[in-house]
Structure 1
Amino acid sequence: MNNKLLLLFFVFFFIKFNSFAQKDVAKPVFRDSAQAIFSEAISESRLVPPKDEHKIYNPRNRGINKVVPGKGYPKGVDAALQSKKGEIPSRAPILNFDAVTTRSTPSDPTGVAGLNHYLNAWNSAFSIYDKEGNLLMPPASLASIGGEFEDETLGDPIVVYDQFADRYLISQFSDTPESFLIAVSRGPDPVNDGWYTYRFSTNRVLPDYPKISVWSDGYYITTNKNSNTADQSQVIYVMERDRMLQGETAQFVSFPLPGIETNGFYSPAGFNAMGNTMPPRGNAPIIYLQDDAWAGVSEDHLKIWLVNVDWDNLANSTIEESQQLGSASGVSPFTATFDGGAFNNLEQPGNAPDIDALQATMMYMTQYRRFLDHNSVVLNFVVDVDPTQAEHAGIRWYELRQYGDGNDWEVYQEGTYAPDGSDRFSGSIGIDDQGNIGLGFTVLDDSPANPVFPSIRYTGRYQGDELGVMTLEEQSLVEGQSPNPSSRYGDYAHLTVDPADGITFWHNAEYFQGENRLNHIGVFRLASDLTRDVGITAIVSPIDATLGANEPITVTIRNFGVGTQSNIPVSYTLNGQTVNEIYDERIEASSSVDFTFSETADLSELGESYNIAVRTSLTGDQNPENDTISRVIRNLPPRDVGVTAINGPTTSENLGNEEVSVTIENFGGEAQSNIPLWYQVGNNNRVEETFSGTIGVGENHVYNFQQTADLSVDKRYRLSSGTNLQDDFDPTNDSEEASVANLNCIPEGSDCDFGDGISYFELGDILNERIPCNNGYGDFISYSTNLDRAQGVYSLILQTYFQAEGNEEQFSMWIDLDDNGEFDDNERLITSQALRQANSSFVFDFNLPEDAALGQHLLRIRAGDTRYEGDLNSPCDVMAFGTTHDYSVNIIDTELDIEDFILNEAELMVLNEYNNHYRVILETTFDETLRITVHNVLGQKMLENKVENNGDGYIYDLDMSYAARGVYLVRIGTRQVGKVKRFIVK
């Protein structure tokens, strides 16, 4: 970058951030008003049946999200990841029922609990239940409300309960003309009290994906509108709440979001007030995520705007940028966009379409509640847990706190909930009046070992638990029976807190039975309504470490109940022996204390795992399910370290002298420093260095070797690295291997948003499913399988996501038999074979040449739409639509015996490592025992020994440091035949 460009670059960022520091303020961009139309109580005589059709709602508004390839953090695993499920026992759901069966695509499930009713809606109908799940009003079209809703069924409904007025709201949008339709119940009974209905114009713009929130001075609506001009056009709408509750003519005002960066589809959120105390009027917050993978965003952050409406003079109303919560505020980097912005993301079991993960969206609702010493808001959105791997959806959630009205918001806690390999998305989050947080979500898993169709589950955490962790056991509301027949899912779920008690969560989401979408209601509670309920929630210590004979046992006792408790019997059991003690102090309701037993435990056996079970035995305890918790504690050996990953170099073009980077992990029970390390390229001499820093128990560290590795020749390399710690307890975890190639070309840059390319690859022991597109190139050379050239014919199984027209989707395959990093025409084993149908397996046979060189080779496979730019059969050409993948194969010959191999194919190498220490290498896949001998020039035998194949060949470390200078001969083979190599000891 020249100096002029550099100056402009800094000027741009100065203006950008300085303007933010000045808190850009915007005025309303559209104002209007609407009259109320009175609608009578809902009677069965005027109920309009819901439409029973397989209708896709509003597909035209879900434009693809745009990202900058390669831009953004994290570059690896999400730093806020919770990778293990909570262990605190949670109570089973209180209520579970299916609310509706529909084929509306998506169904847009939404529902709220009021004091006496549960109001449920979907595309584009509604129903009403009592709080026991009994149906009071059967499913009916939204047109049944009457008034402005007459004959209106366009969809995207939202239902809201205004706790401060004991009223219900129902909304949908209209395109005749473009407007919001809002119905406000005239009283607390949505069946019998009648409705006021309003039509608020949106000035010839369809208000896509609306979400409503309650604030003291208005009903706020956020939308997905005017993505390219969201900082100037109408995005946020506010309705005059006070007048709507009275059925009077109400004003309506809309605002842009100054300073926002969008990347296509987007969805901000307003803070939805709940609880017993309203927030002060004004300063209504709007929040949205900003992903640094998008153009114009330099850091992942949450952006907050404040809206102030002057209903007496709407021209005085404002919206202003208020805060940017980034890394300095406690927001960890996140990846909120999947598949380069495309909307087919999460793979289902079977051949069903990939599901839309609902990316770039603040999920509904963003719940605000006031406490004695702070205000809290909870929110969530979906993230890709590790963008370097195949898509793995998790839920990034936050609790923000505000210590005093008008003060800045602070990140109190954050977490990314993805406790196993399943995808979790479509979350909805709430906070009860005790500060406990409930999270409902959808689970999906396409793995053959654990297939999960879209299913609805929940978890949560108690106020006072470890920050950033959903500590409760995951519970199921309903397990899916079928895949989603469409990629559209949701488009949201809806969790609310029951205003009748402030602690019961109602969650509404969809699952599938065949072609049908079912909206399911699950009701659960974290806080207890029991008087006597005490249990154990954690074993605090000991932890995995080097332990002794007198380890103190510390546990966390929680009073789940609503009454204060004391004199609580507590016990732990170890090796069949139980220790009983009493915690005699008071524990207030809904609070926890740590208790340390006076009797210690003997955990001194090195390497042993101890199962410790702890329980409370409170007399009259009303919920014994949470009384007990157990945990396995390991007595770790003091010295045990190893290399757990080779981070670099990676496969690329034009490699040379490359830095070798590894991750070292301390598996032992004591901190370690001055750790001897080594790396090796193939069977060449090892490079040995020492890490002089310190690694704590359970910690890891990235080490970059000072001596580089020469990878300048185009070919595949095997890299290995490990530790040589003296007295290391477990040598099996010391080392790791990786494969890397120096290639003459890597054809990156293809587009596979339409599903072009290879999505499934199976050859021998290689099974690669759910293959991500990324930039069109996939480095899978660490995947390897044996191919027996004596077998001749091999079968390859492939799939593609692309529905080909006229068999244009084709593939070709090469094996680099001469190991020069290039794929020549005579190495192409399959040419332009057709993949005729999406998500179907095709089997292709190919032959290995009879004289194919034994050993490891690179395999390249390319697939794409041949009607467009790029030559499929030119291995370096960038295809307009397609993918290129590289794998490894190891060619063997089961008909070739060891003696033939030694005489005709084997190469014997003797490498001088250091100070007359040599490494003798015979690379082969044979596994029978051979013999090694060393003779001097006089024919005297200096050494004879057995040598085994270690997986990479026959390798023998030969110490000649005590031998006289001169010429020696080394031989490896059988007693009948062998290879001989001459070497010199200096």
Structure 2
Amino acid sequence: MTKKLYFLLFFGFVFQLNLIAQSNEVAGPVYIDSAKAIPSSSLKKGVIIPAPKKFKEFKPRGRGINRVVPGKGYPKGEDLTAQKEMGSLKARGPQFIFEAAQTFSTPSDPTGAVGPNHYVNAWNTAFSIWDKNGNQLVEPANLSSIGGTFATSAVTDPIVIYDQIANRWVIMEFKTGTPVGLLVAISQGPDPINDGWYTYSFPTNGVDPDYPKISLWSDGYYITSNKESRNADNAQVVYVLERDEMLKGNTAQIVSFPLPGIETNGFYSPAGFQVMGKELPPRGNSPIIYMQDDAWAGVGEDNLKLWLINVNWNNLSSSTIAESQELGAANGVSPFRATFDGGDFSNLSQPNDGADIDALQATMMFMTQYRRFDNHNSVVLNFVVDVEPSAAEHAAIRWYELRQPSAGGNYSVYQEGTYAPDKSDRFSGSIGIDAQGNIGLGYTVLDDSPESPVFPSIRFTGRYVNDPLGLMTLEEGSIVEGVSIDPNARYGDYAHLNIDPSDDLTFWHNAETFDSPYRLNTVGVFKLASDQPDDLAVVRLVSPTDASLTNAEQITVEIRNFGSNPQSNFEVSYSIDGGAPVTETVTQTVGASTSIQYTFETTADLSEIGQTYTITVTTSLENDGNPDNDDISEEVKNLPARDVGVSSIDGPQTDENLTTAEDVTITIENFGGEPQQNIPVSYQIGNNTPVNEVYGPTISVGENAVYTFNQKGNFGTSGRYRITARTKLEDDFDPSNDTQVKSVANLDCIPEGSDCTLGDGISSFELGSILNERIPCGDGYADFITSTTNLDRSQANFTVSVQSRFNETITTANAEKFSMWIDFNDNAVFEDSERVVSSATIPRSIEWFDFDFEIPNDAPLGQHLLRARAGDTSFGGSLNDPCSMMEYGTTHDYSVNIVDSTLDIGDFLMNDAEVVVVSEGNNQFRVIVETMFTEPLRITVHNIIGQKMIENEILNTTDGYVYELDMSYAATGVYLLRVGTRKVGKVTRFIVK
């Protein structure tokens, strides 16, 4: 081995040691100043300035230097701490929910805190105040309404906290303009409306303290920021405000520190510890924490890094910040991948091809809550990770509880977990710990999968203090389910969960969803703890579950003690479908905040195949303080052994230039009680010959599988296609779930790319039986051709209703207009002669408007494509050109079925219909009657001597009548087939060989 190679190996070894080693650097202040208090009157006496209502995009997040090293970092595969199943404990639903803000601010950055009698909510540039029953006491107001230093400053990134020890509210904002700095208002008492405020404008020496987060410690209010990412180890990053003087309304000092030894990935957000509860820690040693990803340059292993700040308010220059700990693998921190897309801010896919939104990576999510207990101190924290970095991105929440001895000293990892209970993305978490040690977690859920899309929605989970470590044991609860996508890549830069100081047990979570074009802030209030000494609950039916069941099934349940007293020798009972209860006595002891599983000695008869049984389980504890949780009812189905079906047709999708060889992809689901394999499947395009294949691998009970047929589909001709996919499992129990039908189109053009983030275009559409509301913006185009309605050509006229959400003042120049076409000749080209509404004005926003139109009285019967467009074309694009990309607007496609109620069914069948019998081999036949009438017809088959073999109903599938005829058991010979009404019909012959 050469000397050069030895040198390189030695150098690499030393370099790696340097990456891992802690320098334990100590630094002093980098900036010192002060600010005077300017009192302001109570909000009740002041002038309330209305909140801004116009769209406003706030300063985009700047990445700065990109320090991600491609291919570097662990884990390479799946996160080993991932919790892949949802908790089984039934969560109590939110106590109540209220919509706290409706805004166009992008992002809204929701924040809020709860006090003894109020909830103060804030978002970018505005705030409102509520009572604790969800009643609004102060209407949405500009933050300048606070007065004092807030009166004339341009501000952003508000944060609200409640200082429980001092009974004061604190509102902080990042001040823009000249000079930049921090605005802070501290209430003069616990009433944010009537008690007045002390306001401060703290200078920051020309440095704009972006993304500031405030937290309470004994000797000050600590503020972290995203500043100087290139040299955060020697520039001002953390600010401390002199709390003692601010509470008195005196001049207060500000001191700023760097974070020595920090490694970042450009944008970053450390956190201070926010004291919760009634007891402050000793003064000094205030912690700052940040996560460091080993995918970044300069980081040897994934870790949590802590610094301690000691401020001497009498001699600020002697104050210090010092590296304290770096918790890595040896300290219980498992590898994590906290980097998405190399550090880019567009990460998570939304339904309907909405813009990818920011996962909020490299951020210690607000808040990092600290609480003192009798024998330890706890802090809980969270940040987003990619739980499967080797595959498609899957956002999940890595969370921690760190503990410290009561007397002080180092922190250690008490528990960690990564919450990823299913395939949906979870991010923007906010975590808290209550006075009993229970942990609550609120977060955003998102899923772009076509079969189960989830618009950004707010949910919660949690765990009890004595539950198994590292798991969120509560079943996920919902605060609000989103109804549309985020129209912009910017997502609320944080959420905010805090705990009610009135009981130190109730969680209040505030986060962002969307009802396009509005951004909504919703508060959900939930509680894990019980206030009762005696409180037993049935929380879960452990078994049986949906499966093939017997006449002697054991019933096993989980019983939890939510109270503070241990319990034993209590009765528990179950009943089936409201029948006589089976009651037994539980002799086991259930300790406080623990649970047990109990199996009844008496079994249950659940043997009827296909039957869904309701099992009700009840505890009967004498003097139970909370009877609301004493019982649960769960449905269990005795699944047939064999039952599979098609749950969705996944491809192809409506597009331009589809080919003669497109993949046809379906999802097959096992609805039965036994695993299945070698499943016959088929697809059929229109009334063409079905393609039959076999899916070989095993599909477990309750699971599904995606299958792409070997034989590709021909969609090469422009127009609309109906795809029918089905399973043909022998002895299948329930044929009703075997088949799915989907319409796709090969279109002449798809005008994607229009901007509808301000509400331009069609937000709701109604025609006949089609009602499509709250349509997401997406990329300006949406395919709804599966939605169809009948238009009777014998009518004089029709009405289509549309709604736009464009919120600016409507003028002639920027009016939203609407056009619509019906593709009568079915060539997938929307021609001028097929336009039935032309540039009709939508005079006002957020209202329904009706537009009348006619169709020719000789319009071709049957199914046709419909295109609808609306927008403001004063900036570009042509509304009456169905292919033109508008600068602002949307284009949507639907289907209509032209019918004629004046035609006689008998005349039509006799004169125009043709009955075709197609042999598919093995004496399997397909009967096709191509007509667009929708009434049910009768089909009969007779043998040559007149005996009736079959009589059945045949239904119109919108493109004609199709009937699958199995003659495999019939004798060889000639048969007569008739289709029609009882009075009139068409007859044809076919041969069975």
Q: Same fold (TM over 0.5)?
A: yes
Q: CA deviation at 1:671?
A: 2.0
Are 2:729 and 1:725 aligned? Answer: yes
Partner residue of 1:846? 853
Distance 1:680 1:189 in 2: 68
Q: CA deviation at 1:721?
A: 1.2
48 and 208 in structure 1: CA distance in 2 versus 1, 3 angstrom threshold: farther
Distance 2:477 2:354 in 1: 33
Partner residue of 1:638? 641
Are 2:593 and 1:590 aligned? Answer: yes
- Contact 2:941-2:975 at 8 Å conserved across structures: no
Q: CA deviation at 1:601?
A: 1.7
Partner residue of 1:272? 274
Are 2:614 and 1:614 aligned? Answer: no
Q: Following superposition of structure 1 onto structure 2, how do residues 10-409 of structure 1 map, counting pairs within 5 Å?
A: 33-34=31-32, 49-56=45-52, 62-63=58-59, 87-88=90-91, 110-111=112-113, 158-160=159-161, 171-174=172-175, 177-182=179-184, 199-204=201-206, 207=209, 210-214=212-216, 219-222=221-224, 236-239=237-240, 249-253=253-257, 259-260=264-265, 272=274, 274=276, 281=285, 284-286=288-290, 325-326=336-337, 335=348, 364-368=366-370, 377-379=380-382, 399-401=399-401
29 and 598 in structure 1: CA distance in 2 versus 1, 3 angstrom threshold: same
Alignment deviations for residues 833-891 of structure 1 (CA, whole Å, 9 cap, x no partner): 22222222221122222222211111112223222333332322222222221111111
469 and 563 in structure 1: CA distance in 2 versus 1, 3 angstrom threshold: closer
- Contact 1:743-1:822 at 8 Å conserved across structures: yes
- Contact 2:36-2:252 at 8 Å conserved across structures: no
Q: CA deviation at 1:705?
A: 1.6
Q: CA deviation at 1:53?
A: 2.3
Distance 1:129 1:848 in 2: 56
- Contact 1:50-1:140 at 8 Å conserved across structures: no
- Contact 1:125-1:142 at 8 Å conserved across structures: no
Are 2:607 and 1:604 aligned? Answer: yes
Distance 1:646 1:467 in 2: 36
Are 2:930 and 1:929 aligned? Answer: no
Distance 1:410 1:955 in 2: 61
Partner residue of 2:956? 951
- Contact 1:781-1:887 at 8 Å conserved across structures: yes
Are 2:881 and 1:874 aligned? Answer: yes
Alignment deviations for residues 531-571 of structure 1 (CA, whole Å, 9 cap, x no partner): 32222211211112221122111111111122222223222
Distance 2:827 2:781 in 1: 20
335 and 501 in structure 1: CA distance in 2 versus 1, 3 angstrom threshold: same
185 and 738 in structure 1: CA distance in 2 versus 1, 3 angstrom threshold: closer
Partner residue of 1:392? none
Moved more, 584-593 or 120-129: 120-129
Unaligned runs of 5+ residues in structure 2 are 1-15, 64-81, 297-301, 312-317, 341-345, 387-394, 405-409, 446-456, 481-489, 514-518
- Contact 1:27-1:319 at 8 Å conserved across structures: no
- Contact 2:917-2:928 at 8 Å conserved across structures: yes
TM-score (norm 2): 0.70
Unaligned runs of 5+ residues in structure 1 are 1-17, 68-78, 297-301, 346-355, 384-394, 444-454, 477-487, 512-516
Partner residue of 1:696? 700
Partner residue of 2:895? 888
Distance 2:758 2:132 in 1: 46
Distance 2:522 2:991 in 1: 79
Q: CA deviation at 1:973?
A: 5.5
- Contact 2:463-2:471 at 8 Å conserved across structures: no
183 and 654 in structure 1: CA distance in 2 versus 1, 3 angstrom threshold: closer
Alignment deviations for residues 449-473 of structure 1 (CA, whole Å, 9 cap, x no partner): xxxxxx9998855343894564487
285 and 340 in structure 1: CA distance in 2 versus 1, 3 angstrom threshold: farther
Distance 1:810 1:45 in 2: 48
Q: CA deviation at 1:643?
A: 0.8
RMSD: 6.4
Q: Give the AA of the match of 1:887.
A: Y
Q: Give the AA of the match of 1:571.
A: S
Q: CA deviation at 1:303?
A: 11
- Counterpart among 892, 898, 901 of residue 905 in structure 2: 898
Q: CA deviation at 1:797?
A: 0.8
Moved more, 253-262 or 122-131: 122-131
- Contact 2:400-2:413 at 8 Å conserved across structures: no
- Counterpart among 776, 781, 787 of residue 777 in structure 1: 781
Are 2:830 and 1:823 aligned? Answer: yes
- Contact 1:558-1:593 at 8 Å conserved across structures: yes
- Contact 2:761-2:871 at 8 Å conserved across structures: yes
Distance 1:684 1:211 in 2: 63
Distance 2:545 2:216 in 1: 46
Moved more, 672-681 or 898-907: 898-907
- Contact 2:537-2:630 at 8 Å conserved across structures: yes
Q: CA deviation at 1:577?
A: 2.0
Distance 1:50 1:896 in 2: 73
Aligned partner of residue 902 in structure 1, secondary structure: helix
Distance 1:198 1:431 in 2: 31
Q: CA deviation at 1:475?
A: 9.1
Partner residue of 1:496? 498
905 and 838 in structure 1: CA distance in 2 versus 1, 3 angstrom threshold: farther
Are 2:796 and 1:796 aligned? Answer: no
Q: CA deviation at 1:762?
A: 0.8
- Contact 1:612-1:633 at 8 Å conserved across structures: yes
Count residues in correspondence: 878
Distance 1:339 1:289 in 2: 32
Aligned partner of residue 696 in structure 2, secondary structure: strand
Q: Give the AA of the match of 1:335.
A: L
Partner residue of 2:751? 747
Alignment deviations for residues 397-427 of structure 1 (CA, whole Å, 9 cap, x no partner): 66334589677898514268999xxxx9998
Distance 2:867 2:62 in 1: 29
Partner residue of 2:452? none
- Counterpart among 568, 571, 574 of residue 573 in structure 2: 571
Q: Give the AA of the match of 2:802.
A: L
Aligned partner of residue 589 in structure 1, secondary structure: coil
- Contact 1:108-1:156 at 8 Å conserved across structures: no
Q: Give the AA of the match of 2:955.
A: N
Partner residue of 1:805? 811
Alignment deviations for residues 418-449 of structure 1 (CA, whole Å, 9 cap, x no partner): 99xxxx99986422244423467999xxxxxx
Aligned partner of residue 662 in structure 1, secondary structure: strand
Aligned partner of residue 867 in structure 1, secondary structure: helix
217 and 83 in structure 1: CA distance in 2 versus 1, 3 angstrom threshold: same
- Contact 1:568-1:616 at 8 Å conserved across structures: yes
Moved more, 50-59 or 231-240: 231-240
- Counterpart among 825, 834, 844 of residue 841 in structure 2: 834
Partner residue of 1:920? 927
Are 2:663 and 1:659 aligned? Answer: yes
Distance 2:132 2:857 in 1: 76
Distance 1:54 1:871 in 2: 38
Aligned partner of residue 817 in structure 1, secondary structure: coil
Distance 2:645 2:383 in 1: 37
Q: Give the AA of the match of 2:668.
A: I
- Contact 2:228-2:237 at 8 Å conserved across structures: no
